[in-house]
Amino acid sequence: MSYEIIRDPLWNNIRADPLALRLVDTPAFQRLRYVRQLGLAYLVYPGASHSRFEHALGAYHLAQRALSLFDERDPAHQIGADTCRLVRCAALLHDIGHYPFSHALEEIGALHHEEVARPLITSGAVAAVLRESLGDDAPDRIMALIRGQSDSPLQGLISGSLDLDKIEYLKRDAFMCGVNYGDIDADRLLDSLRLVRDPDRGVITVGISEKGLSALESLLFAKYQMYRNVYWHHAVRSATAMYKRLVDGALRAGSLDAATLASFTDEGLLEELARRAPSPVLAALRERRLYKRIFECPAAALPAEAGEWIADDRALVVAVEDQLARELGLAPGELLLDYPAKTQMLGLDIPVSRRDGSVRRLTAAGWQGAINLPQLSEELYGSARWLRVFACRRVALNRDAIMELASLTGADVARKLEKGKLL
């Protein structure tokens, strides 16, 4: 089989086989060249202009490396060639449904990008290539891998505690942002991957050797550090809140169609907004006149479950934003609430091949002698996730009133809103 070499700043040489090249050349995949991996983070970290296209190629590269190691180390557990090709394709295509500016639109209720990927993979040019090369059921099998619903022993490479996507994006994002927070030991992690028999289900699955646990813990801490310092950086979240307000407003006004959002590139969507829904917020975002923090509070200082309505109830959030703006002498859209949607900071569920030959499942509860991951996860959440209020200019805000508002349930906030006074 002949391979083409693709030069990459992170992994150096990526060897792409003919099937991968055909998939890369489809219009759906080429769109990823123009969708930034880190959304609006480039407004804070200028180097963060890398794309989903590069990340997808990197995930494909790591899949090749992992499969080669399995073949070399575990001949007794050899996986069929077609299954390996499916896994490589799943790694390549896993982000094909991403919206412009990454995950932000999922926070306003847009369909999850993995579901957006379904029609792109199961119909059209991508599906035609997959069916011709791998069989009629290939698109559905690849979707199952991407959604974490496959019974393949290699499922864990595509969706799991130590999936290749995680290794790739943490490594690439840190490299491109010029920070060391996500500089994980990818070689050690890949070399520690094993095909083991799951102690609970009795099936062959992806696990890790005991000697790789320290590298796995480092990956979990790197993920936390990247959320704290890059993904949830206050200026990144300000830009994201402005972008969400723009798109949400255009959708509500009928200027944009939710069904077409995933067909846009980053700049294409901004141009469409400029044409169909121009606004001062859009102009400010494009000129990097980001809204300023007028309130912020770490999750650790809030009662449990406080503020979740800000992450979950978009319509209520917009109504509260506009009422608060009026009370503070601002126009609608000039004040924004932000509380990032919860993510699984330290999710962990993976079989470990121990030095004595036994296999034991490592979960978030850990085992004797391991770090207390559940407690640590809550502590890290409390310091990384912040409730913030942004505004177009500095205005005085009653901190106690905002703390009280955030501590209410969504239903209580809605009742208070009906009375016409929030602060």
Query: What pLDDT, on a 0 to 100 scale, did the predictor assign at position 161?
Result: 80
Of the candidate ranges 85-89, 174-178, 285-289, 357-361, the one whose mean pLDDT is the lowest: 357-361
Query: What pLDDT, on a 0 to 100 scale, did the predictor assign at position 22?
Result: 98
pLDDT reading at 75 higher than 70: no
Query: What pLDDT, on a 0 to 100 scale, did the predictor assign at position 300?
Result: 86
The whole-chain average pLDDT of the chain stands at 91
Query: What pLDDT, on a 0 to 100 scale, did the predictor assign at position 80?
Result: 85
To the nearest 10°, report the CA torsion of 25, 19, 174, 363.
140
Query: What pLDDT, on a 0 to 100 scale, did the predictor assign at position 182?
Result: 74
DSSP structural state of residue 256: S
Q: What mean pLDDT is predicted for residues 166-193?
A: 92
Co-location of 192 and 244 in the same domain: no
Cα of first residue to Cα of last residue in the chain, in angstroms, is 68
Q: Which residue has the higher pLDDT, 184 or 379?
A: 184
Residue numbers of the domain that contains 309: 234-342+383-418
Taking CA atoms, 293 is separated from 185, 230, 309, 351, in Å, by: 36, 17, 20, 44
Domain of 21, CATH number, reads 1.10.3210.10
| Residues 309-340: tens digit of each pLDDT | 998 899 999 999 999 999 999 999 999 999 99
Query: What pLDDT, on a 0 to 100 scale, did the predictor assign at position 367?
Result: 57
| Residues 82-104: tens digit of each pLDDT | 899 999 999 999 999 999 998 89
Q: At which of 232, 267, 287 does a domain end? A: 232
pLDDT reading at 405 higher than 70: yes
| Residues 104-115: tens digit of each pLDDT | 999 998 888 888
Domain membership flag for residue 387: yes
Strand blocks (E) in 113-258:
193-197, 204-209
Query: What pLDDT, on a 0 to 100 scale, did the predictor assign at position 365?
Result: 63
Q: What is the pTM of this model?
A: 0.93
Co-location of 248 and 313 in the same domain: yes
Co-location of 49 and 104 in the same domain: yes
Q: How confident is the model at residue 264 (pLDDT cuts 50, 70, 90)?
A: very high
| Residues 243-255: tens digit of each pLDDT | 999 999 999 999 9
Domain membership flag for residue 354: no
Query: What pLDDT, on a 0 to 100 scale, did the predictor assign at position 325?
Result: 96
pLDDT reading at 369 higher than 60: no
Of the candidate ranges 172-181, 194-203, 326-335, the one whose mean pLDDT is the lowest: 194-203
Query: What pLDDT, on a 0 to 100 scale, did the predictor assign at position 406?
Result: 92
| Residues 40-49: tens digit of each pLDDT | 999 999 999 9
% of residues, the chain, pLDDT over 90: 71
* Of 348, 345, 350, 320, nearest in space to 335 by CA: 320
Domain membership flag for residue 136: yes
Co-location of 116 and 20 in the same domain: yes
Co-location of 95 and 35 in the same domain: yes
Co-location of 264 and 178 in the same domain: no
Domain membership flag for residue 352: no
Domains identified in the chain, total number: 2
Long-range contacts of 276-283 (CB under 8 A, 24+ apart): 276/250, 277/246, 277/249, 277/250, 277/253, 279/246, 279/249, 279/333, 280/333, 280/392, 281/242, 281/245, 281/246, 281/333, 281/334, 282/246
CA dist 27 and 175 (Å) reads: 28
Domain membership flag for residue 357: no
Co-location of 72 and 116 in the same domain: yes
Q: At which of 202, 232, 262 does a domain end? A: 232
Q: At which of 212, 232, 252 does a domain end? A: 232
Of the candidate ranges 84-93, 263-272, 346-355, the one whose mean pLDDT is the lowest: 346-355
pLDDT reading at 363 higher than 90: no
How many residues comprise the chain? 423
Q: How confident is the model at residue 374 (pLDDT cuts 50, 70, 90)?
A: low
The H-or-E segment that residue 249 falls in is helix 234-253
CA dist 289 and 239 (Å) reads: 9
Burial class (CB in 10 A: 0-12, 13-18, 19+), 40: buried
Of the candidate ranges 380-384, 403-407, 409-413, the one whose mean pLDDT is the lowest: 380-384
Domain membership flag for residue 362: no
Q: What mean pLDDT is predicted for residues 404-415?
A: 92
Query: What pLDDT, on a 0 to 100 scale, did the predictor assign at position 206?
Result: 92
Co-location of 337 and 397 in the same domain: yes
Query: What pLDDT, on a 0 to 100 scale, did the predictor assign at position 219?
Result: 87
| Residues 135-172: tens digit of each pLDDT | 999 999 999 999 999 999 999 999 988 899 999 999 99
Of the candidate ranges 242-256, 275-289, 359-373, the one whose mean pLDDT is the lowest: 359-373
Query: What pLDDT, on a 0 to 100 scale, did the predictor assign at position 304?
Result: 83
Co-location of 27 and 138 in the same domain: yes
pLDDT reading at 370 higher than 80: no
Domain membership flag for residue 423: no
Query: What pLDDT, on a 0 to 100 scale, did the predictor assign at position 43?
Result: 97
Q: What mean pLDDT is predicted for residues 277-295?
A: 96
CA dist 144 and 158 (Å) reads: 10
Co-location of 289 and 226 in the same domain: no
Q: Please check whether residue 39 is in contact with residue 240, taking contact to mean a CB–CB distance below 8 angstroms.
A: yes
Query: What pLDDT, on a 0 to 100 scale, did the predictor assign at position 42?
Result: 97
Co-location of 186 and 266 in the same domain: no
Query: What pLDDT, on a 0 to 100 scale, did the predictor assign at position 366?
Result: 59
Q: Which residue has the higher pLDDT, 302 or 132?
A: 132
* Of 316, 302, 303, nearest in space to 410 by CA: 316
Describe the strand order of the beta sheet including 193-197 as a list of residue ranges: 193-197, 204-209, 349-353, 359-363
Query: What pLDDT, on a 0 to 100 scale, did the predictor assign at position 2?
Result: 83
Co-location of 116 and 206 in the same domain: yes
Token pair, residue 141, equals 């099998």
Domain membership flag for residue 360: no
